[in-house]
Structure 1
Amino acid sequence: MSIAVDIQYAIEAPNLPTAADFTRWVEAVLKDRKVDGEVCIRVVDPDESQALNAEYRGKDAPTNVLSFPFDVPPGVPVSLLGDLVICAEVVAREATEQQKAELHHWAHMVVHGTLHLLGFDHINDDEAEEMEALERALLAQLNIADPYQVAE
């Protein structure tokens, strides 16, 4: 099995995950599904996140994670699964607001985004329940608490 994770740090910020962290989280998603491939993760500022979110989702605000699956043309031997764009400032803010460890929230964003690259979605309730259950199980394997549990 071959999994490659390319990390692009487009910003400098405190408490960013290491390349080893990102790789461990992507591998957690792909290994049980026996999926080979390459994922590119780009860590960005709010301006870049907002520009991409506006262009590709029609939402004029920065967001935590954007997923861009790569559709391999037939007959082309490429194993690129796609790209994740993660806004460090949004992740840090959400972690604080949700009273979560920042590194755990990063892991959740990577797991969530990687599942999107594999075709999972949360547009309707059934899809959302399936995807959230997978996220909970994968994060539990990483010793990370249920990200959907509301802090008291």
Structure 2
Amino acid sequence: MSKPELSLSLQFADASHRALLPRHKVVRWIRTALELPGELTVRIVGAEEGQALNRDYRQKDYATNVLTFDYSHEPVVVADLVLCAPVVAREAQEMGIAIADHYAHLLVHGTLHAQGYDHEVDDEAACMEARETELLLAMGFADPYAGGKTR
């Protein structure tokens, strides 16, 4: 089965993790989760920008790991994924996993959100988590919800 086409803009407002996110890996992780062609921007930001975006768009005054701004679900998935480097690093350390592995999970998670998946309702949360786990296992990562360490 061929993977959907992807147009990707990869931006680093916070360049501290640039080496952890080579374009070919980011493309692979996103394309694995894409069900339709996509036009995505992935922006890696620092804590200040992450907090401002979360506050302005979700009314939550703290930096979060990933924000998804989805503009179109079909026929082309169009979205911005904003990942906060310091939050991703802290969470990876707390979970005892590699930072790059956590980025893979969050990019899959954000890409699913960009396609309309949600986890605010229990039934939908279980479906989304199952899909994330399936995709990550297929790429050789551990189940992010099992609490185990990745590779």
TM-score, length of structure 2 as denominator length: 0.89
Q: CA deviation at 1:80?
A: 5.3
Instruction: Indicate the larger mover: 120-129 or 14-23.
Output: 14-23
Count residues with an aligned counterpart. Answer: 144
Whole-angstrom distance in 2 between the partners of 1:129 and 1:150: 16
* Aligned residues of 2:15 and 2:44 also touching (Cα < 8 A): no
Instruction: Indicate the larger mover: 78-87 or 118-127.
Output: 78-87
| CA RMSD in angstroms, aligned pairs only | 1.7
> Which digits, 9 at most, give the CA deviation of each residue in 1:6-63, with x for residues without a partner?
1011122145311111111111011xx2x01211000000000000000111100000
- Does the alignment pair 1:2 with 2:2? no
State which of 108, 117, 121 in structure 2 corresponds to 1:120.
117
The one-letter amino acid paired with 1:44 is V
Counterparts of 1:10-89 in structure 2, within 5 Å, are: 10-14=13-17, 15-30=19-34, 33=35, 35-71=36-72, 79=76, 81-89=78-86
Whole-angstrom distance in 2 between the partners of 1:25 and 1:151: 20
Q: CA deviation at 1:103?
A: 1.0
User: Counterpart of 2:133?
Assistant: 136
The one-letter amino acid paired with 1:125 is D
The one-letter amino acid paired with 1:6 is S
The one-letter amino acid paired with 1:18 is P
Structure 1 unaligned segments of length 5 or more: list them.
Answer: 73-77
Whole-angstrom distance in 2 between the partners of 1:113 and 1:103: 15
Q: Secondary structure at the match of 1:27?
A: helix
Q: CA deviation at 1:151?
A: 4.2
TM-score, length of structure 1 as denominator length: 0.89
> After TM superposition, which residue ranges in structure 1, 4 or more long, deviate above 6 angstroms?
none
Whole-angstrom distance in 2 between the partners of 1:26 and 1:151: 22
Whole-angstrom distance in 2 between the partners of 1:128 and 1:40: 24
Instruction: Indicate the larger mover: 61-70 or 9-18.
Output: 9-18
